[in-house]
Amino acid sequence: MLQKYLNISSSKWYWLALLLLGISLEASALFYQYVLDYPPCVLCIHVRIWVLGMIVISLLALKFYKNSLGLLTSQIVMTLLSLGLFERSYQLLGTERGFVYGECNMESGLPAWFALDSWFPSVFKIWAACGYTPELLFGVTMAEALIVMSFILLSLSFIFTVYLFNRHFVNK
């Protein structure tokens, strides 16, 4: 049974699900920004950038999922992206709850060669200072949902990375 679940990491459906998750998260963020009028802070923009990375890697993995080394590389990068997403989600929750200070300003911190905030200001421009995230459903805030989702994604990505590494290098 465990083997069946672990084989999911080699499936195009797994990568398609991650792609759809990333697109859904970006669409939700833009819906909250433009329809519900919740302007994004720097941490929210950083979360969007990590999610954009997930989308790009998912697209690449869909192209290379039949190649075991390409699949392993994609999964390693997805684990690193999930770690970055988890860290930013933690900072966002910490800022909202008051146990993290000093992570929020009006500068994106992006280098000039990766100026997403200048290239795509409608998606990546900082509009507000940090402090709170909107409530989603049942009193759960966006920061709370992001920390749970990113932890699950990080855990799965790590487990799948270990499995694929063992399958590729150890159990050849």
pTM metric for this prediction: 0.88
Q: Report pLDDT for 172.
A: 61
Integer CA distances (angstroms), 12 to 9, 45, 71, 80, in order: 8, 28, 10, 20
130 Cβ partners below 8 Å, 6+ apart? 41, 42, 43, 44, 92, 95, 96, 103, 104
Structurally, how many domains does the chain consist of?
1
CATH code, domain with 158: 1.20.1550.10
Q: Report pLDDT for 18.
A: 94
Q: Report pLDDT for 162.
A: 86
In terms of residue numbers, what domain contains 156?
Answer: 2-170
Radius of gyration of the chain, Cα coordinates, nearest whole angstrom: 17
pLDDT along the chain (172 residues), means of 10: 70 92 94 90 90 95 85 92 94 82 71 83 82 82 92 93 79 64
Name residue 141's beta-bridge partners: 135
